[in-house]
Copies of this chain bind each other. A is one copy, B any other.
Amino acid sequence: MALEQDTGTPRHQRADAARNRQRLLAVAADVLRERGLEASVGEIAERAGVGRATLFRNFPTKQDLITAVVLERIREGVAEGEAMLETGGDQEILFPFMKLLVGRQRVDRALFESVGGEAFLTDERMRQAHAAIIDLIDRLIAHDQRLGYVREGLGAVDMLMLIKGACAVATSMPDLGPQALDRHLSLVRGAIAPPGRDYPLEGTAPTIDDLHARPVSER
């Protein structure tokens, strides 16, 4: 209530503003995915059905918009991990969560690259988002260790490094396709396996022909 009086804005107008902001974020994510970082903010405003003034009021620079989209994606990922932990019971969670993140980052590659390492060091909200992921992964590891899915000694930053590596494979070798990524992840799963637990390799080993499958013109 105090907040409402402070802003001097009627409740329905603030609800509209929040909806506009969420809509802008969702549309921006789509447009950035389709067009890459060259996407124009004009197109984003237009497709979201809001004026440019509204867009700039919410996100003064394009980088602000991109950062907000990435923060939203991270929040969604953390929320999904929390939900898996709540409903997962005795099922393995850490590896499925890793698969989820890698598959998604494959699609949102440019987005995550654009806020790369420096942003995590300089932007306080990014640092907080990073800390939230680390905290979640710590709990996923503890859950899966207790059930014998994951080796002792594994830390959340170890997992982030494995996820980072698999994301690089996913984005740098697009010719290999999603099956090859599943294959690769089934291999990486062995890195987090506890002694005596053997996870099967999925599919067959890719060949050099798979690497050179498509002519450049079709890439």
Contacts and interface: CB of A to CB of B under 8 A. Distances in A.
Interface stretch (A24-32, A37-45, A182-190): A182-190
A219 B118 CA distance: 9
Contacts of A158: 183-184, 187, 205-206
A164 B180 CA distance: 14
Interface stretch (A70-78, A86-94, A119-127): A119-127
A110 interface: no
Given A158-B187, A164-B172, A188-B188, 20 more contacts: A120-B211, A120-B212, A121-B212, A130-B208, A130-B211, A131-B208, A154-B201, A154-B205, A155-B207, A156-B208, A157-B208, A158-B183, A161-B176, A161-B180, A164-B165, A165-B166, A187-B192, A188-B191, A189-B191, A190-B190
30 contacts: A117-B172, A118-B219, A121-B212, A121-B216, A121-B219, A122-B216, A130-B208, A153-B205, A154-B187, A154-B205, A155-B204, A155-B206, A156-B205, A157-B205, A158-B205, A160-B211, A161-B184, A162-B165, A162-B184, A164-B165, A164-B168, A164-B172, A165-B165, A165-B166, A168-B168, A168-B172, A188-B188, A190-B192, A191-B191, A196-B198
